[in-house]
Structure 1
Amino acid sequence: MVKESFPDAHTTQIQNGRLRMLNRLREGEFPLMTFMAIPSVRMAQIVALTGLDGVIVDCEHGHIGDDSMHNAVAAISSLGVSPIIRIRGPSPDLIKRALDTGAHGLMVPQINSAEEAELVVRYSKFPPQGLRGQGSAFPAIAHGLTTPEYMASANQTLLTMVQIETREGVVNVDKICAVPGVDLVFIGPNDLAQSLLGYTPAKGDEPEFVQAVEKIVTAAKRNGKWVGRLANDGTLAKSMRGTFDSVAITGDTKAIQNWYTAEIETARS
């Protein structure tokens, strides 16, 4: 991996009004995201029109294949919201395929070491910074650019997010956060609780869990990275403002299920 210094999402001087998540993060505006697990262009449009800044197209746990991934990115980006793709892991082919949709951001789960984080950066950046290949017209379209314009800006404007959600990741979090090209560290609280406590979800006040979250936040800020996490609802998300730079509020499947459950209980009460 090339070790010289390059501009990144934190330091870039490039301006692109379509990159909503990046712009809100740079302005310190606490942008909000959610997860999308249902493969549907209409679902992508509905979620994107709620006022969110970013939609995480969940190709790790969601029911979303390549075709639906491409369609979701196109639908979300066309509505002025940032599509972010969560892939299954730090594999070069998964990174390439996700970024060729035109995603504004990449989220990679269960990063446990600096070496894994470096791999993510290496294959998400074009040369000379990395080894990403070029061959698709779709990324430029989702950024509202020509392909040459996209090639000149992508390394600086792509939001590269890595998830810390294991005991090993917490142990190595300082080294992970120090990797150049990692822009945002995202806490997966459910997997983190399972790894640390042996159950999920965490109650939220377990000392080991609280200390792990604090360690991740501190490491991210010390290394000049943004930090985010999952929140179950808007009230919890609001309480995290000031500690976190961004929060993902639940996901489409939970939102639908929770709304119907609550309303049906009310109707039958």
Structure 2
Amino acid sequence: MNMPHNAFKAALNNRATQYGIWAGFATGYAAEIVATTGYDWMLIDGEHAPNTVPGVLAQLQAVAPYSTTPVVRAVTGDANLIKQLLDIGAQTLMIPMVETAEQAATLVRAMRYPPHGIRGVGGGLTRATRWDAVPDYLNTAHEQLCLIVQVESRLGVENVEAIAAVEGVDAVFIGPADLSIGLGHAGNPGHPEVQERIQHAVKATLAAGKACGILAPNEEDARRYQGWGCQFIAVAIDISLLRQSATATLARYRTPATEQAPSRTY
């Protein structure tokens, strides 16, 4: 059996723009629905959605037949959790709140087997190896693994050049909401200071030869960030889409109609 191909990583290497969607319902059924809609990638969110490792596994299995590539965001950069997520078959990991090059280098080591890292060997126990059916997995796994580090704090942006330069970091993802609150502009990622810091992070990432991504469900924001050079952009959140559609539908039948504008924070 061949190593599963990581289409997301391949697209990053080809410099193709990829549009993504946040998957926050934490169920395989909902994730499969999202996977049928044609987005290039989907973020299975283990940080702010109520996901467990078995729950992430169920979603990976549910979306496997579809062209949308899953990206798994861990709740933390703990090496033991990274080991579990890789063993259940996650090939692209996003790690939140990375603030230093040293932290990024530690994450790279958690993604790789010795002598280049500290990942433990699960062998025939793991879905990643297709239960020992993938030949030479230990020596070739890194070729299809992709590490995205999130820069979303004042300190992270200050160190973004060094973070992006770390070998083994494939991409940097900017978190506008956390960055805005860290800069003293809670709920206002459009503030000029936040925007300047985002643009700086994008430029620094690109200068290091790495791909840069961002979360931007608002179309105006997404197009601006794409113009700045962001290559993979999450332009939708499944939970938000459900709520917006539900409230808009109800508003058509209530007098007076009251429709709340979507938040631009996330």
- TM-score tier, shorter chain, comes to 0.7 to 0.9
**1:152 CA displacement:** 3.3
Q: Is the 1:22–1:159 Cα contact (8 Å) retained in structure 2?
A: yes
Matched, 1:264 2:250: yes
Match runs of 1:30-179 below 5 Å: 30-135=17-122, 136-141=125-130, 146-179=133-166
Q: Is the 2:21–2:42 Cα contact (8 Å) retained in structure 1?
A: yes
Q: Are residues 266 and 238 of structure 1, via their aligned partners in 2, closer, same or farther at CA, if it must alter by over 3 Å?
A: farther
Q: Are residues 48 and 25 of structure 1, via their aligned partners in 2, closer, same or farther at CA, if it must alter by over 3 Å?
A: same
Distance in 1 between residues matched to 2:36 and 2:250, nearest whole Å: 25
1:140 maps to a residue whose letter is T
Q: Is the 1:166–1:191 Cα contact (8 Å) retained in structure 2?
A: yes
> 1:186-219: per-residue Cα shift (whole Å, max 9, x none)?
00100000001241132x1x23112211111111
Matched, 1:196 2:183: yes
SS in structure 1 of the partner of residue 71 of structure 2: strand
Q: Is the 2:7–2:69 Cα contact (8 Å) retained in structure 1?
A: yes
Distance in 1 between residues matched to 2:100 and 2:222, nearest whole Å: 28
**1:17 CA displacement:** 7.7
Please give the TM-score of this superposition, normalised by the length of structure 2: 0.87
Matched, 1:230 2:215: yes
Counterpart for residue 199 of structure 2: 214
Counterpart for residue 241 of structure 1: 226
Matched, 1:29 2:29: no
Identity within the alignment, %: 31
Distance in 2 between residues matched to 1:70 and 1:16, nearest whole Å: 18
SS in structure 1 of the partner of residue 166 of structure 2: coil
Q: Is the 1:230–1:249 Cα contact (8 Å) retained in structure 2?
A: yes
Moved more, 17-26 or 183-192: 17-26
SS in structure 2 of the partner of residue 240 of structure 1: helix
Matched, 1:180 2:195: no
Q: Is the 2:3–2:134 Cα contact (8 Å) retained in structure 1?
A: no
SS in structure 1 of the partner of residue 67 of structure 2: coil
Q: Are residues 17 and 32 of structure 1, via their aligned partners in 2, closer, same or farther at CA, if it must alter by over 3 Å?
A: farther
Q: How many residues in Structure 1 have an aligned counterpart in Structure 2?
A: 251
Q: Is the 1:177–1:185 Cα contact (8 Å) retained in structure 2?
A: yes
Distance in 2 between residues matched to 1:133 and 1:240, nearest whole Å: 38
1:249 maps to a residue whose letter is V
**1:247 CA displacement:** 0.4
Task: Provide the aligned C-alpha RMSD in A.
Answer: 2.1
1:262 maps to a residue whose letter is A
> 1:44-67: per-residue Cα shift (whole Å, max 9, x none)?
110111101212111111011121
SS in structure 1 of the partner of residue 226 of structure 2: coil
- Unaligned runs of 5+ residues in structure 2 are 258-266
**1:118 CA displacement:** 0.9
Q: Are residues 140 and 164 of structure 1, via their aligned partners in 2, closer, same or farther at CA, if it must alter by over 3 Å?
A: same
Counterpart for residue 19 of structure 1: 6
**1:29 CA displacement:** 2.1
Distance in 2 between residues matched to 1:149 and 1:256, nearest whole Å: 43
**1:162 CA displacement:** 0.4
Distance in 2 between residues matched to 1:247 and 1:49, nearest whole Å: 18
Q: Is the 1:41–1:71 Cα contact (8 Å) retained in structure 2?
A: yes
